[in-house]
Amino acid sequence: MGKRLGRYEKSVHQGNRAFVAKQVRGGVHIITKGDKITTQVEDITKTVPTLNNQARKILLPLVDTIGCMRYKRYKDVDDEGHKTYKERLIISFKPSELIEAGDRTGLLPPELKLKAIPADIKRTPKITMKYARINYERIAEYYK
């Protein structure tokens, strides 16, 4: 476990196009980067997991949950009544024509707020894994 986790930390920190699959409570979890593709039917850009066609045919039918992490803008009103726009890190489990996501278990909400690494903190493998564990625990609570 330690060596594999170390390799995963390194691939996350370096931004490699690697994915890791791990069987844990709640099923098999696959972590991968997302790619944006343009569909042939319509001229839209859709975010999908980075897997080649052979891997997609094998893995996606086995996966119960596909989440898409992204920053989402929202309106906020300060104490003086001024409207401002802020961003928060979310993971979406609801599919749309713009993202490939889904939850076959029905246990997860359509959208879940995550804890983002603040901009003033340097992204090291240790910090990245700390925030990944925090966010994993938020998702794991729904499987208890």
Average pLDDT over residues 10-19: 40
Q: How far is CA 116 from the centre of its chain?
A: 12
Query: 38-82: per-residue pLDDT in tens?
Result: 766 667 777 888 888 888 888 888 888 888 888 888 888 888 888
pTM for this prediction: 0.68
Q: How far is 72 from 49, CA to CA, in rounded Å?
A: 19
Unique residue bearing structure tokens 């859709």 = 46
Tell me, what DSSP letter sits at residue 143? Answer: G
Confidence of residue 126 (pLDDT cuts 50, 70, 90): very high
Residue 4, classed as helix, strand or coil, is helix
Q: How far is 65 from 108, CA to CA, in rounded Å?
A: 9
How many structural domains does the chain have? 1
For 130, the enclosing helix (H) or strand (E) is helix 125-140
Q: Which domain holds residue 91?
A: 2-143
